[in-house]
Structure 1
Amino acid sequence: MTRASGAAGDRPQDSASGGVGDRVLTIPNALSVIRLILVPVFLYLLLVVEQTGWSVAILMFSGFSDWADGKIARLVDNQSSPLGELLDPLVDRIYMVVVPLALAAAGVVPWWFVIVLLGRDLILATTLPLLRSRGLTALPVTYLGKGATFALMSGLPLVLLGQFDALWSRVILACGWAFLIWGMALYLWSAVLYLMQVSMVARSMPRVAATSGGRGTGG
């Protein structure tokens, strides 16, 4: 009797939370998939047929949809999902790698800019084994890091739009580089803070035994 009533009492909660856990067809997920599909389209338009205008349009749409899917997931009921929590940052990371490489290949930004940008991410990636040895997968994303990413992803399409031969284009190019320089400074500083946090984790948290996995065992 107790088991039956317990199961019945748990069922509404399971249906509510389980629905969120199993939900795939959401507006944020659809926007993330569209952004992912547009990556090869962007590369084709920029590097093969050299359609700068359409390339800029894709970057602007991707930036707007990235902002929109986050807002929708937070503010609209039944639109958040575990898949979205994985898919959205994954697509963001793909754009942060592909777009600078493509712009450097097109001669829009210098290669040293891309090397510094990606080198920063590679350095942070080397901290993953240490974090996992403490039972963590990653450290929380800071507002500084989010601001840096926003500045970079705003500056890249502006620099691309600044490639047209017109006075207005030169103004936009200057604005784009202002965003990129500021974003790069924040990006590097956020990496320094991240490494300091990793150092604190290494000193303050004990190693997790190899036989006990999971975040909770990290203390």
Structure 2
Amino acid sequence: MLHSVPDIDNSEALTERQQAVLDAALRLLVEEGDHLTMTAVARRASCSKETLYKWFGDRDGLLTATVQWQASKVRVASVGGKGLDLASLTASLERFGSDWLKVISSDTSIALNRVAVGHAGSGKDNLGAVVLENGRFALAKRLKPVLEAGRQAGLLEFGDAEMAFRTFFGLVGRDVQIRLLLGDRLELTEATIGGDAVRATQQFLALFGAKTGPQGL
């Protein structure tokens, strides 16, 4: 069972103090990996363990919140089918792709995912499920409405939103995440990430862009 923690898909749901605590937890994950403890986080963040338990429940709850905090950095523009044009749809997809690449290539995300992979199937905790539920699956729930809006506006053609999302996700990420997890030192500069997001969006629109209609591609 996933732990109940603050809903932080929107970072405004967290106080600055809570954000600082989660940033401290993420830094510790980079430094200590699997050895992260509530005591260490409390010490690094200069707060009491009682405060951590009040905010996040326990270690799994804290880890859940850190995953949500990382995922919240991937912005998804709010779009509506009415009046949506190709330029705004393209910009939304490019921003999502760029943000996601920045997040997964950060030292904190690499460390967090390495711990999650190491725990998967081990029975130690449910961190793997936490990362899936609050990372990849949560991002799908946030981007699918954008894809649906694009379909309703006659800009996109697809039969299944999940399939369309997985295609876009794959075009953006390619083999980047697995290479980073395995220690490959990819040079992902701001310009490289931006270019990759643009390329992935163009490829996605070539596959799913509407071929007919007044707003056809």
Q: Same fold (TM over 0.5)?
A: no
TM-score range, shorter chain: 0.3 to 0.5
TM-score (normalised: structure 1): 0.36
TM-score (normalised: structure 2): 0.36
Q: Which has the larger radius of gyration?
A: 1
With CA pairs under 8 Å and 6+ residues apart, which has the higher RCO, 1 or 2? 2
